[in-house]
Amino acid sequence: MIGILGAGSWGTALALQAAHGGQQVLLWEFRLSIAQQLCEARENRQFLPDITLPDNLQITSDLQQCARQCDTLLVAVPSAAFRDVLEQLKPDIQAEQGLAWATKGLDRENGHLLHQVAHEILGDNFPLAVLSGPSFAPEVARQKPTAVSLACTDAKLVNRLIDYMQSDTFRIYTSHDLTGVCLGGAYKNILAIAAGIADGLQLGHNARAALMTRGLAEMQRLGLMLGGHAETFMGLAGLGDLVLTCTGDLSRNRRLGMALATGGSLQAIQSDIGQVTEGVETAQAMRKLARTAGIDLPIAEEVYRILFQNRPPEQAVHALLSRETGQEF
C-alpha cells in the first residue's frame, strides 16, 4: 500500500493516479473534519470536484497509521508544511520504506532544498525520491497524458514508485539529480508569477518568451552552482514544468502574477485563488538561498520586490530591461 500525504489538489490527484492503476492507497488529510467529508462524499469537492474517489482509495487523518501500514510514502503537502510533516513522521518511518515527495518549493526557514531538509531530519543514508515535472493536478486526476521526472537515490524505492504510479497516461522518467529536480520544481513557480505579471501588463509574446528563457538561465546557473546537472534543467523538471506553469491557464502562480499586474493586493489575490501559490513562499526562500550562495538572480529578485516590497510591476520591468548588456552565455 502507498500512502499519499496531503489531500490538496495535487495529493488527491496522485492518490487517484495510483488508485486508477488498481493499487491500494491511503490518503492522509491532517484535518479530521475534512478527512471525514472525503470519506463520506467520496469526492474532494474543494479541490477536484466531480471526480469520484474509488473504493481502493481510503482516507485517514492519522499520520502514524500511514507510516505503519504503508510500504511507501509520497508527501504532497505545501512546502511550508514539509519540515513539520517529516518531523512528525520521523519516529515511525523506516529506511526500508524510503521517502518520496511531490512538493515543489524550498524550506522557508533557511532556503534549503527539500532533499537537504529530508537529510537533516532522517539522516544522510535514508532513501529519498522527488517527483516533479509538468503536471497540473486536474489533468492527472482525469487521466490526461502526463510525463514526469523521478529523481531517486535508491533502486528499490524507484521500482516501487514506478509500480505504484506509472500507467498508460502517466509516464515516469528516472534521474539521479535530486538537486536539479528539487530546484526546477521550486524555481518555475517564481518565474510563473513573473510571466503572469508580464501577461497582465500586456507586454506581449516576445516579452514572455524572453522572460522564460532568461529565467531558465537563472535556474540553471543557480542549479549548477548547487551541484545539479545541466541536462536536468532542459528536461521535464526544468524546461517542461517552466513552459507549463508560465503559459497554462490552470497555473495558480501565473494567475497570481496577472492579478498583481492589475493592482490587486497579494492577500486578496491569494484569498480569491483559494489554494496555495507556492511561488510566494518560494520567492522569500529563494532570496535567502541566493544570498547564501552569493549569486545574482535578477528575475527572482524583482518578483520578491513586487511581492514583499510593494515595487510597482512596471518599475520591475524597467529595472530588468535597463540592466547592463552582457553576453548571453
DSSP track, 253-290: HHHHHHHHHTT--HHHHHHHH-S--HHHHHHHHHHHHH
161 and 128 assigned to the same domain: yes
Query: Of 155, 178, 201, which residue sits at a domain end?
Result: 178
- Do 147 and 268 sit in the same domain of this protein? no
Contacts of 12 (CB under 8 A, 6+ apart): 4, 27, 44, 47, 48, 53, 137, 141
Domain identity same for 147 and 51: yes
Give the residue-averaged pLDDT of 143-169.
97
- The reply to whether 208 and 111 lie within a common domain is no
Q: Do 11 and 64 belong together in one domain?
A: yes
The cell for 35 is 478527512
Question: What are the respective helix, strand and coil percentages of the chain, to the nearest 5?
Answer: 55, 15, 30
53, part of any domain: yes
Which of 133, 155, 178 corresponds to the end of one domain?
Answer: 178
CA dist 151 and 261 (Å) reads: 35
CA atoms of 258 and 269, how far apart (whole Å):
10
Q: Say how many domains are in the chain.
A: 2
Mean per-residue pLDDT, 60-71:
97
Annotated catalytic residue within 90, 104, 156, 188:
188
Q: What average pLDDT does the segment 137-160 reach?
A: 97
Residues 298 and 324: beta-carbon distance below 8 Å: no
DSSP string, 39-76: HHHSEETTTEEEEEPPTTEEEES-HHHHHHH-SEEEE-
What is the CATH number for 228? 1.10.1040.10
Per the structure, the complete domain to which residue 172 belongs is given by: 2-178
C-beta of residue 141 within 8 angstroms of C-beta of residue 112: no
Same domain? For 256 and 131 the reply is no
pLDDT, tens digit, 9 for 90 and up, residues 241-298: 999 999 999 999 999 999 999 998 999 999 999 999 999 999 999 999 999 999 999 9
The average confidence (pLDDT) of the chain is 96
User: What's the rounded mean pLDDT across residues 156-160?
Assistant: 98
In this structure, the answer to whether residues 155 and 129 fall within a common structural domain is yes
Same domain flag for 33 and 144:
yes
Q: What is the mean pLDDT of residues 87-99?
A: 97
Angle at 128 (CA atoms; ends 25, 252), nearest 5 degrees:
65
Say if residues 9 and 45 touch (Cβ distance below 8 Å).
Answer: no
User: Whole-prediction pTM value?
Assistant: 0.96
State yes or no: pLDDT of 301 exceeds 90. yes
Angle of CA points 152, 154, 158, to nearest 5°: 65
Considering the domain architecture, whether residues 213 and 283 belong to the same structural domain is answered as: yes
Domain boundary (144, 178, 212) is at: 178
Cα 19 from Cα 13, distance rounded (Å): 10
Active-site annotation holds for 188: yes
- Cα(54)–Cα(15) distance, rounded to whole angstroms? 10
Predicted pLDDT of residue 109: 85
Q: Quickly state the pLDDT bin for 324 (edges 50, 70, 90).
A: confident
Same domain, 233 and 200: yes
327 part of a folded domain: no
Of the given ranges (44-53, 250-259, 320-329), which has the lowest mean pLDDT? Answer: 320-329
Q: What is the CATH number of the domain that holds 13?
A: 3.40.50.720
Q: Residue 216, Cβ neighbours under 10 Å: how many?
A: 21
> Any idea how long the chain is?
329
Per-residue cell: 326:
552582457
pLDDT band at residue 68 under the 50/70/90 scheme: very high
Strands, E assignment, the chain: 2-5, 25-28, 43-44, 48-52, 57-60, 72-75, 99-101, 128-132, 146-152, 170-175
The pLDDT, as a whole number, for residue 286 is 96
Helix, strand or coil, per DSSP, at residue 148? strand
Examine residue 186 and state whether it is found in any structural domain, yes or no. no
On whether residue 293 sits in a domain, the answer given is yes
Helix (H, G, I), strand (E, B) or coil at 311: coil
